[in-house]
Structure 1
């Protein structure tokens, strides 16, 4: 008969209030007593007592300043509440800076290196008690999409923190393609159920899961931190918008990979939410998805451009140089021609108001194109908005078979950037602001 699966978890009593400089190994070993720990046990230790023992207590009248110092990136903000990336790489509230369970006027910081703290505790207990245990150092996190908080692993030693089941099969024989179990976090949560937040029981013991314990190389809470490239929810809403705006750069070199048409269509969906006069919809986006159409248009535009340059008296050498600079459209794997359609524009008897009416529609199309460029950036696509179609509108309309009332407003080259953009010099909005 197969033995029933199970484990036990209990809080370890007898650990006193911890102060800076205390020997945490000695305190835990004394509380465990003789035979209190056996090989394969997992100690689940609240990070607060680790921080206190390591002197990570900071006198701070201003907790906000401590949060700022421990943060490397703002993820989301709502009022005074901040979700940040700590310098450890954890995405969490307030960078783990805690003002609870510490004297007034002080705050607790996370351990300098929680994995190293877990290793020291594990090695010390092996020397003191002769047992091989795993150690998980925990802190409390909120979670996206879920109410409430739970403890997770911020440090680990001697514990398999991730169990990769990919390549196996379930009980019905279905292949497991994405299943990687966060064992470290599950152990942390199990320990918290018996430790509690205010019970004065900072250490729990989990017994019966020895298959996850052992090995000098096993266990690091860093393994539980998702890489930025794989994080689909890296930013809060307002921060995501700001990040996408910052990502929107003029890209003139593309790596040649094809562009997913669905990404461009999603960007168009964002574009047409821009404000427009008189409840109109003055935007049209012509998507050039075939190389044949792109070449046909660009060849015709180039002929018109060369004719204009010759009429301006430019030399053939100068013309050739200028044409080469226009290669950004030819090198792009995807082109979009935004157009202005002034349906619904008001008629005025005088030129002044007629010109203003036209400008209103032009501004609306510009807002739509900016939405489009930002949305492309959010899709991880580079773009360059080039004005050239505005100089040969008749040619563009003829080649693309567009109605006479559609006014091409440039062309947008779209593709995967060939490299990282150059650093953008900072701009202070105050330099462009006038207050009256």
Structure 2
């Protein structure tokens, strides 16, 4: 449903958190999702957006690594000294990253799949003792597969977001961010539209997937809630089954990285 139609019909944006059983490696996450929908007495409607926690998807895709199986390199030991991170975890971060910008206590700032993120998305929270969870291998492809499965079973057109939480520069606390998406336009281009005073917009693009991921965080939580799914209804999303997923820009076009790089 378009945002204009939602506004015309005065339909409220609604977000449902969906509890699930504990997800294990090689579990069928779509079947677990369907069970969660049944337990909540819900089903999909056209235009719904499904948000899935990346750690839940990654666990189902067996992206868990036992730290004792990792042999740290010399670079890993060096970064371990400056960050305080386990050298074995640092080694995995180096293997998963496209680039490491540096680090502070507990965190390495990295580039993963064109996304700026801490520790290449690797986390030990919500992982068994002694393990860490890597990001899903291809979040947008996984989102697309889940979108197709939903279309086949429920005969509905939905969008899917694979979401993580992320800090913002110079801000305390986390918000949601999409690391994968399918079924809708992740970014809405508003260039050429008019503002309240009739002036044309020149640079405005709306990060729709990230906004919806942040909204889902309100019901999914960050700890032991066991709510890996959120269903968003009556959103402003523009549905498109052929959308390209999450969109990124080069580092030199980024307001933060580009400006800092010029000062080096």
TM value normalised by structure 2: 0.83
Shift of 1:140: 1.4
Report the number of matched residues: 236
From the superposition, tell whether residues 2 and 101 of structure 1 become closer, same or farther in structure 2 (CA, over 3 Å): closer
In 2, distance between residues paired with 1:43 and 1:79? Answer: 34
Residue 192 of structure 1 aligns to a residue whose secondary structure is helix
| Number of the residue aligned with 2:79 | none
Instruction: Note the aligned Cα RMSD (angstroms).
Output: 2.1
Question: Can you give the 5+ residue segments of structure 1 that lack an aligned partner in the other structure?
Answer: 245-374, 379-436
Q: Is the 8 A contact 2:147 2:159 kept in 1?
A: yes
Matches within 5 A, 1:153-302: 153-198=178-223, 199-209=225-235, 212-221=237-246, 223=247, 225-234=248-257, 240=261
Shift of 1:31: 1.5
Q: Is the 8 A contact 2:24 2:59 kept in 1?
A: yes
In 2, distance between residues paired with 1:4 and 1:166? Answer: 26
In 2, distance between residues paired with 1:191 and 1:184? Answer: 11
In 2, distance between residues paired with 1:2 and 1:94? Answer: 44
From the superposition, tell whether residues 5 and 166 of structure 1 become closer, same or farther in structure 2 (CA, over 3 Å): farther
Q: Which of the pair has the greater relative contact order for Cα pairs under 8 Å at 6+ separation?
A: 2
Q: Deviations over 1:348-392 (max 9, x none)?
A: xxxxxxxxxxxxxxxxxxxxxxxxxxx7xx6xxxxxxxxxxxxxx
Shift of 1:146: 2.3
Matches within 5 A, 1:398-417: none
Given the alignment of the two structures, is residue 73 of structure 1 paired with residue 96 of structure 2, yes or no? no
Shift of 1:147: 2.2
In 2, distance between residues paired with 1:136 and 1:158? Answer: 9
Give the helix-richer structure, 1 or 2. 1
Residue 215 of structure 2 aligns to a residue whose secondary structure is helix
Given the alignment of the two structures, is residue 32 of structure 1 paired with residue 37 of structure 2, yes or no? yes
Q: Is the 8 A contact 2:184 2:241 kept in 1?
A: no
| Number of the residue aligned with 1:23 | 28
In 1, distance between residues paired with 2:259 and 2:104? Answer: 9
4+ residue stretches of structure 1 with deviation over 6 A?
A: none
Q: Deviations over 1:55-108 (max 9, x none)?
A: 11111142121111111212232244211112x121111110000001111100
Residue 22 of structure 2 aligns to a residue whose secondary structure is coil
From the superposition, tell whether residues 6 and 175 of structure 1 become closer, same or farther in structure 2 (CA, over 3 Å): farther
In 1, distance between residues paired with 2:67 and 2:259? Answer: 28
In 1, distance between residues paired with 2:106 and 2:28? Answer: 37
Candidates 4, 10, 14, aligned match of 1:4: 10
| Number of the residue aligned with 1:395 | none
In 2, distance between residues paired with 1:60 and 1:9? Answer: 37
In 1, distance between residues paired with 2:232 and 2:124? Answer: 28
In 2, distance between residues paired with 1:207 and 1:5? Answer: 9
From the superposition, tell whether residues 213 and 169 of structure 1 become closer, same or farther in structure 2 (CA, over 3 Å): closer
| Number of the residue aligned with 1:146 | 171
Matches within 5 A, 1:65-104: 65-86=91-112, 88-104=113-129
Q: Is the 8 A contact 2:54 2:136 kept in 1?
A: yes
Q: Is the 8 A contact 1:29 1:129 kept in 2?
A: no
Matches within 5 A, 1:283-322: none
Larger radius of gyration: 1
Shift of 1:142: 1.4
Q: Deviations over 1:206-247 (max 9, x none)?
A: 0002x52432212411x1x2222312432796xx5xxx8xxx
| Number of the residue aligned with 1:298 | none
From the superposition, tell whether residues 108 and 163 of structure 1 become closer, same or farther in structure 2 (CA, over 3 Å): same
Q: Is the 8 A contact 1:168 1:176 kept in 2?
A: yes
In 2, distance between residues paired with 1:126 and 1:4? Answer: 27
